[in-house]
Chains A and B, each alone.
Chain A
Amino acid sequence: MTECSRQAETWAGELPDEEIVRLVCRHDESALAVLIQRYGGQVQTVCKSICSDELEANGVVSDVFWEFWRHAELFQPHRGSLRSYLLTMARSRSIDRMRSVASQSRQRTKFIDATINHSKELSLADSPEHRAVSDENAEEVQQALCQLSELQRQMLELAFFDGMSHREVASALQIPLGTVKTHIRKGLLRLRFLLSELSQTGKHS
């Protein structure tokens, strides 16, 4: 490991997201390096779940950070975390890419299952300190996901990780569009409720 990458890892643990955004807005390249180190791995996971091959996925990963570098000022903290912003962008750009190449053979990696079964085997691109916090939160999310109904989990998976629109989910599952919208919304709200309960339980124990 080079001195440079060791230094970047240290920064990755030190800098809060807000500070990274501020620095990227000023086109500070080191801040972008930290951002790639922190979220690049998750961005790639999302891209690979939607794109037909690794080459395409890597192209979209690169596009996401290129676009953020150019227009970091468009990020609005009140509309979600920086992670959500980047992963939503990754999802959206992957869909655009796949539509543009008219691919019919998308990989259907089941990422929620992958999350539940294998996340501890995958390395997060954070400093050890940051990784510990992320693992703890991710574990709670995994527990909450397990408590959703099978249908809700399936719909969330299709909508978030397979890159389907609500209409496409409805078509794939042969369920009315309105029902899909309701299930996804209620699934998300239940997820929040379950996370809140788990968090309370954790505090009391």
Chain B
Amino acid sequence: MSCDDVQDLLVEYLMGELDSQSLASVERHLASGCNQCQAELQALTQSVDALWQAVPAQKLSEEFQRSILTRACSATSSEITKHTTLASHPASIPQRLYRNPFAQALLAFAAGILFMMYMKPAAKIADDFAASRPPVTKASSNVNLASPQIPASLQMSEKRYESTQLVSLRRKPGSGEPRGYVLCDALTREIHVFCHGLQQPPSGMQYVLWLIGPGIEFRAVDRLDVDAEGVCKAAVRWPAGDFRFATVTLETSSKLNSKPSNDVELVSNAFAPFAR
């Protein structure tokens, strides 16, 4: 890619609008040490900074600020050890909320409402997928997150799924009950995997999360650990490129192939009906 080509794409690069192929080309060119393009990028970066600086600010109510904080922080409150560099100051907003039983009850109620709201779309997506893939029976795909097959502890985590465009739960026909699901969050670009009832992988084997699709072909994106209770939970970043399926398989760890083996155990499978 020539300097002119790269410079034509730099604004879109800064706005995060390039497709994966153009993005890779631009980054490769910039990493090659082209001073001219680096200087152009720096100049455009300063201009964009200035432009954003001139955006007028709305007045956010204190209540709305609190709700943003509560939502953000509640997502990871049980996962992350909090640091209190600033929290040594008295009574920060989120701290007060966390200590307030009423606020906690309200959050739990809101989570329940969200959960109920998204049950129907999830089932519909699964039905649509079943209709488009004749080998998969409707029964195997029309399972929602409230399935008794899934332990209550996995049915709804504290994470937010309102932007999730897919909640699907399937296995290959004839391979028994589903044992997990994969959620693809189009908004945060995250993929969440939940599986249960798994055996510890035999020696030399491992569970692997794959993404499969025209823009990504076959890609092993993560190796998954199973805890003592046979549960596997993982969250990975959604890599660049379109994909259509997310699946978890049991593979030989010594030699991970470039695509899932045909004879591996399929733990869960999900369909992503949208492109990036």
Contact = CB atoms under 8 A, between A and B. Distances in A.
A33 B93 contact: yes
Nearest to A80: B45
Interface string B31-67: 0000000000001111111111111111110101101
Contact of A69 (B51, B72, B90, B92): B72
B95 interface: yes
A83 B160 contact: no
A156 interface: yes
Interface centre among B55, B81, B87, B92 (most CB of A within 10 A): B55
A88 B17 CA distance: 10
Contact of A123 (B50, B59, B67, B91): B59
B254 interface: no
A165 to B, nearest CB: 6
A11 B93 CA distance: 13
A125 B60 contact: yes
Contact of A83 (B45, B53, B56): B53
Contacts of A138: 53-54
A3 B87 CA distance: 14
A59 B67 CA distance: 11
A96 B54 contact: no
A111 B55 contact: yes
Given A28-B87, A192-B43, A87 B11 contact: no
A98 interface: no
Contact of A145 (B48, B54, B71, B96): B54
Contacts, number: 226
A181 B68 contact: no
Nearest to B59: A123
Given A88-B14, A141-B53, A188-B11, A30 B45 contact: no
Contacts of B133: none
A80 B65 contact: no
Given A27-B76, A80-B45, A115-B56, A36 B68 contact: yes
Nearest to A27: B80
Interface in A127-170: 134, 137-138, 141-142, 144-145, 156, 159-161, 165-166
Contacts of A71: 188
A29 B53 contact: no
B116 interface: no
A62 B68 contact: yes
Interface in B61-108: 62, 64-65, 67-69, 71-73, 75-76, 80-87, 89-96
Given A80-B14, A145-B54, A93 B187 contact: yes
9 contacts: A7-B92, A33-B94, A42-B58, A62-B67, A80-B14, A96-B187, A97-B187, A156-B51, A191-B51
Given A33-B92, A87-B52, 17 more contacts: A27-B76, A27-B81, A28-B84, A28-B86, A33-B93, A44-B58, A45-B58, A58-B64, A62-B67, A80-B14, A88-B52, A92-B16, A122-B58, A125-B59, A144-B50, A160-B51, A185-B10
Interface of A: 2-5, 7-8, 11, 23, 26-34, 36-37, 40-42, 44-46, 48, 58-59, 61-63, 65-71, 79-81, 83-84, 87-89, 91-93, 96-97, 100, 111-112, 114-115, 118-119, 122-125, 134, 137-138, 141-142, 144-145, 156, 159-161, 165-166, 178, 181-182, 184-185, 188-189, 191-192, 195
